[in-house]
């Protein structure tokens, strides 16, 4: 069993992969935050730019913890 890049114990395809395909699949701010972390790991610059303009984008404090 492989974990998603965000750390959840489910496959990427069933987790952040769905959100990367369609940002509307992010049901909560936490989903979006996790998908942004996975995008960071995968160097998905396009996704990071796109999600940056989402209404539920992480606060600057959360962003700092993602980068670490
Ligand atoms: Zn994930």
Could you tell me how far CA 14 lies from the centroid of its own chain? 13
C-alpha of residue 21 to centroid of ligand 1, in Å? 12
Instruction: Identify the residue whose tokens are 């909560």.
Output: 28
Q: Where are the domains of the chain?
A: 12-67
Q: Residue 40 and residue 58: Cα distance in Å, rounded? A: 14
The structure's pTM equals 0.69
| 25-56 confidence digits (pLDDT tens) | 999 999 999 999 999 999 999 998 888 765 55
Q: For 2-23, b where at least 16 C-beta lie within 10 A, e where not — what string?
A: eebbbeeeeebeebbbbbbeeb
Instruction: Identify the residue whose tokens are 């303009």.
Output: 53
Instruction: Identify the residue whose tokens are 């965000």.
Output: 6
C-alpha of residue 15 to centroid of ligand 1, in Å? 4
C-alpha of residue 35 to centroid of ligand 1, in Å? 6
């Amino acid at each position: 069993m492989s974990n998603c890049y965000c750390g959840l114990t489910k496959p990427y395809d069933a987790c952040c992969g769905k959100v990367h395909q369609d940002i509307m699949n992010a049901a909560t701010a936490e989903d979006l935050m996790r998908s942004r972390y996975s995008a960071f790991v995968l160097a998905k610059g396009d996704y990071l730019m796109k999600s940056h303009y989402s209404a539920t984008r992480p606060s600057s404090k959360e962003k700092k913890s993602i980068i670490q």
